[in-house]
Amino acid sequence: MTNNEHNLLFRVVSKSLKYFLLALVGFAIAYVVSIILGGQYIVIPLLPLVRDLILRLGIILFCLMATAIVVESLR
């Protein structure tokens, strides 16, 4: 009988991707609300820091996802 359950890495990456995308939506909503309420003097200096953090986390998540896909296909 075959086992259709995904391995641990695949499950962790899929949950991480879900929360990463939810965090991106949350940052977008917070940015729009802060611009509407006049907080652009606080938000604009923080954008390079947040952008770099999101970019690095996205690259790490993409590499983990690629690794999980390769491991699943070899199994």
Q: What mean pLDDT comes out for the span 55-70?
A: 93
Q: Please give the mean pLDDT across all residues of the chain.
A: 88
DSSP secondary structure string, 5-65? Answer: PPPHHHHHHHHHHHHHHHHHHHHHHHHHHHHHTT-HHHHHHHHHHHHHHHHHHHHHHHHHH
- Res 1: pLDDT: 43
pLDDT tens, residue by residue, 28-50: 999 899 989 888 888 888 889 98
- Res 61: pLDDT: 94
- Res 2: pLDDT: 60
